Amino acid sequence: MTATPGDMVWLRVVEEGVFRFDASEAGRAAAGPSLSFADPRRREVPREGGDAPAIHPTCQAEGPVQKVVVKLPSGTSFYGTGEASGPLERTGKQVFTWNTDAWGYGPGTPSLYQSHPWVLAVLPDGKALGVLADTTERCEIDLRQESTIKLSASSAYPVITFGPFNTPSEVISSLSHAIGTVYMPPKWSLGYHQCRWSYDSSEKVLKVVKTFREKGIPCDVIWMDIDYMEGFRCFTFDRNRFPHPKSMTDDLHSVGCKAVWMLDPGIKNEEGYFVYESGSEKNVWVQKADGSPFIGEVWPSDCAFPDFTSKRARGWWASLVKDFISNGVDGIWNDMNEPAVFNTTTKTMPESNIHRGDGDIGGVQNHPYYHNVYGMLMARSTYEGMTMANASKRPFVLTRAGFIGSQRYAATWTGDNLSNWEHLHMSIPMMLQLGLSGQPLSGPDIGGFAGNATPKLFGRWMGVGALFPFARGHSETGSFNHEPWSFGEECEEVCRLALLRRYRLLPHMYTLFYHSHTKGTPVAAPVFFADPQDQELRKIETSFLLGPLLVCASTSPNKRAHQCSHKFPKGIWLPFDFGDSHPDLPVLYLQGGAILPVGLPVKHVGEATLEDDLSLTIALDENGKAEGVLFEDAGDGYEFTHGDYLLTYYSAKLESMEVTIKVFKSEGSWKRPKRNLKINVLLGGGAMISALGVDGEDVHLAMPPESEVCNLVASSELARKKLFEIIRPIPDIDEPESQQEGAEFSKTLVNLKSGDWLLKVVPWIGGRIISMKHHPTDSQWLQSSIEINGYEEFSGTEYGSAGCTEEYNVLRRYLDQSGEEESICMEGDIGSDLILQRQISILKDKPNIVQIDSSIKASVAAGPERLSR
């Protein structure tokens, strides 16, 4: 049936300025429950009063597909769409919300690990509007038509609009009130995390942490990937390599380090394995259409999968987590929970699978209904299990797969990225997009997960990544070591400075998370949030805001941050540092009118105490005033919800050439500690004047005359210039000097051209061709599979391109021992009893040429099952 496009019916929901729209009254009745709203009932109850909506979406139904169009004023800029690769501004982009194991994704990959059917629209005048398609189904977000949002999904769903409000920040706060704010993270989780696939023994884990401490490089958390398990069986420990996990974690805790352990959803299908036995007894598995448990291959080989849509299964999983915590586990890492399934064209379980969901979230449904929320529900179960284990501690969960609303239970990282400059650049907008979609606690694998970072790439990535809300270094098996000291002395020093900088800023970052948790405000935000009316700021993606702190980085190998031309929002922005300026670090600016609380350069969060000296860095505005805020509590637990905290509001005011700094308001039951206060008032050019005082008492600081200020600024700028002339920057070398750990060969990702063809090739660990582009027809992405360490890799597919989508069976692949020559032979069914065969070769004697030989054969190919979209 095709309906005539028309305005959708609406009712006001949640709060002032938030509206629900449905295609019709029948569509409203047919829509499933909300899994994004923190309280699903709030979406269903109409509210009385208030203004009518300023924006009216239109809807057209084509069979089971509901298409919604939101037209906005010309010049509107689009953001959001959740975990999306590519540029910060999403205008002109197309995204499909379908959680996908997207190893080696690129800037045009349309589906990644998480689904956020959400768009933030910034209008030409700086006001903003949010649009949420509240459906768990696969949803197309099409922003390719100027100032138009198109949403399409194969079932009835409501559209929720937020605003228009005066600022983008107000929209994010309004969204967060609906879908839930981020859980308050334990303070240690805001420190630096070190991970690898894998630190494969207790001895290796302790050695890595010991090296951090010996080298004076801050670190709070070490991570255990899948190799800690007995044959990849969840909730077990390898008896030879991790014989005494509790003893190991006790040793870690004694030096101020936490331990996070991985748990995947795939449970080995093995009689006698206690997890599989208890799951079968409680009947918790996802089922096939015939009612039998679905079995799919993941790391342990054949696996059953918990049906997290069922309260029974979630309770069973939570009880396992509760017992697991007794081994000294501080946090849990949920991976592969899209859910990923090996040796399948779709990389996940069949759409015919059955989930026996609870009635309040949708009841019994086929897999497509719950696919996008499977990871979120797993994270929820893990979070609840940790709470059961110790209700006085805040859980820490990291999830790869998620849905809008996942921030209530877990942090996230941006998946299996690559060690190259393109992915360093993308890491900033990807982190920001997640924040603009309600998930502020996120970050990438610093240095890149797959492949080998160069020293300059790793150091530069650490410089900016150390200031992301979530900061973790992580690398895959077979790559070079990727610890901060693995890339030479120059890179090690940059990493040390970058992480000491993060720890000095932790009082500020922790305060931002408190505000995000209580008010729904962003932690990291795009630069245009400081001046939404400035159109030139809307595309900036190498800088970002942490409250009033502006971080300006470089993601280009040929330019450092201080050599780049940075665009600033209106107002005063003063540069500063902690005596740690370095050519390979970002440059920092503080907004005029702000007071920034700064702590000591500790090596882990547990070293800091409430009595430690506190610094206030101050940038006065054009009226000679500034304000700032600091939140302090125990750093863990929930006593802060009962008033056990100290929230301090500081002010500074310039009068008669004297700046007075004082506490003008405080909240909470904690008494102010007796601690020294150091005041640094910025003058410009990195220059500052300082004074000492006692926290809680007024501090008076005499301002120098204008001529002296000019001299101080000039001297500071000259000193910095001379410093940069003598500092040894990270050298330009192609590969680190560290030893490989079992890789066949290793090179950075390369683009190879041959005539009209452009291939993106990832040569490490056996070789993988990621994408193929034919210029006359735009993009064609390979849907071929190559088995790597038992794990079949599939590239993404770019939908709606001007070219075509091609799928192939891999017949054979050749790679000579030197790793210099590679060829792959593939066949694809093109219909009419014909197959297209392509042989793609990288020639040894001409490595800059890709040879593509195509032929059509008159035979029937048994091609892979086509991916239904």
Q: Is the pLDDT of residue 116 over 70?
A: yes
CA dist., res. 774 & res. 758, Å (int)? 7
Residue 364 makes CB contacts below 8 A (sequence gap 6+) with 354, 355, 356, 357
> Is the backbone peptide bond immediately before 339 cis, with ω within 30 degrees of 0?
yes
For 224-257, give one letter per residue: b (16+ CB within 10 A) or e. Answer: bbbbbbbebbbbbbbeebbeebeebbebbeeebb
Give the per-residue pLDDT at 781.
39
| Mean pLDDT, rounded, for 461-477 | 97
pLDDT category of residue 160 using cuts at 50, 70 and 90? very high
User: CA torsion 146→148→150→156, rounded to 10°?
Assistant: -170
Cβ 419 vs Cβ 450: under 8 Å: yes
- Predicted local distance difference test score (pLDDT) of residue 861: 35
For residue 47, the model assigns a pLDDT of 80
Does 796 have pLDDT greater than 50?
no
Which of the residue ranges 249-258, 589-598, 664-673, 783-792 would you say has the lowest mean pLDDT?
A: 783-792
**Helices and strands, number each (H, E), in the chain:** 13, 51
CA distance 741 to 744: 9
Q: Which of 118-122, 390-394, 754-758 has the lowest mean pLDDT?
A: 754-758
Candidate from 350-354, 626-630, 791-795 with smallest mean pLDDT: 791-795
Q: At what angle do helices 311-325 and 374-389 cross, to 10 degrees?
A: 50
Task: Retrieve residue 273's tokens.
Answer: 């394995």
Check residue 128 and give its pLDDT.
98
SS (H, E, C) 189-209: HHCEEECCCCCCCHHHHHHHH
Say what the pLDDT of residue 751 is: 57
Eight-class DSSP state of 270: -
Intrachain domains 6-179 and 513-518+530-726 with the same fold: yes
pLDDT surpassing 70 at residue 49: yes
Cα–Cα distance for residue pair 157/211, rounded to 1 Å: 53
What CA–CA distances, in Å, run from 407 to 315, 374, 411, 439? 20, 14, 6, 5
State which of 203-217, 340-354, 733-747 shows the largest mean pLDDT.
203-217
Residues whose CB falls within 8 Å of the CB of residue 610, separated by 6 or more in sequence, listed in order: 632, 673, 675
User: Which pLDDT does position 483 carry in this prediction?
Assistant: 98
Q: DSSP strand E in 310-400: where?
A: 331-334, 354-356, 364-366, 397-399
Domain regions of the chain by residue span: 6-179, 513-518+530-726, 750-857
In this prediction, residues 467-490 reach a mean pLDDT of: 96
Retrieve residue 686's tokens: 């990195």
| DSSP string of 153-172, one letter each residue | ESS---EEEEEEESSHHHHH
Give the whole-number percent of the chain exceeding pLDDT 90.
78
- DSSP, collapsed to helix, strand or coil, labels residue 36 as coil
pLDDT band with cut points at 50, 70 and 90 for residue 93: very high
Answer yes or no: is pLDDT of 322 > 50.
yes
Enter the CATH code of domain 6-179: 2.60.40.1760
pLDDT tens sequence across 571-621 = 999 999 999 999 999 999 999 999 999 999 999 999 999 999 999 999 999
Q: How confident is the model at residue 855 (pLDDT cuts 50, 70, 90)?
A: low
Round to whole Å and give the CA distance between 639 and 394. Answer: 11
Question: What average pLDDT is seen over the chain?
Answer: 88
Mean pLDDT throughout 246-273? 98
% of the chain beyond a pLDDT of 70:
84
Rounded to an integer, the average pLDDT of 671-683 is: 97
Residue carrying the six token digits 């006593």? 639
Would you tell me how many other CB atoms lie within 10 Å of the CB of residue 54?
12
Q: Summarize pLDDT for 359-385 with one digit per residue, the tens.
A: 999 999 999 999 999 999 999 999 999
This model's pTM is above 0.95: no
Report the 10 Å Cβ neighbour count for 277: 12
CA pair distance 132, 404, nearest whole angstrom: 10
pLDDT of residue 351 exceeding 80: yes
Please report which helix (H) or strand (E) contains residue 458, including its range: helix 455-465
Q: Residue 863: what pLDDT?
A: 33
Residue that wins the pLDDT comparison between 545 and 843:
545
Residue 372's pLDDT is what? 98
Q: What are 503's strand-pairing partners?
A: none
How many other C-beta atoms are found inside a 10 Å radius of the C-beta of residue 292? 9
- 790: amino acid identity, one letter: G
When pLDDT is cut at 50, 70 and 90, the band that residue 845 belongs to is low
As annotated, the active-site residues are 335, 338, 416
Is residue 206 scored above 60 in pLDDT? yes
Beta carbons of 199 and 225 less than 8 angstroms apart: yes
Class of domain 513-518+530-726: mainly beta
Q: Residue with structure tokens 């065969």? A: 837
Q: What is the mean pLDDT of residues 299-324?
A: 98
Phi-psi label, residue 42: left if phi above 0, alpha if psi -120 to 50, beta otherwise = alpha
Residue 407 confidence (pLDDT) above 70: yes
- Rounded CA gap, 852 and 757, in Å? 8
Confidence band for 11, pLDDT divided at 50, 70 and 90: confident
CB 803 within 8 A of CB 779: yes
Contact present, 11 and 19 (Cβ < 8 Å): yes
DSSP sequence for 625-638: EEEEEEEE--SSSS
Q: How much is the pLDDT for 806? A: 43
Residues pairing with 77 in the sheet = 122
Question: For residue 468, what are the CA distances in angstroms to 463, 557, 758?
Answer: 10, 20, 33
Q: What is the pLDDT of residue 850?
A: 62
Dist. CA 527–CA 571, nearest whole Å? 13
**Chain segment 749-795, per-residue pLDDT in tens:** 555 555 555 665 544 433 345 555 555 544 443 333 333 333 333 33
Residue 253 pLDDT > 70: yes
- 709-736: pLDDT as tens digits: 999 999 999 999 999 999 999 998 765 4
What's the confidence (pLDDT) of residue 786? Answer: 36
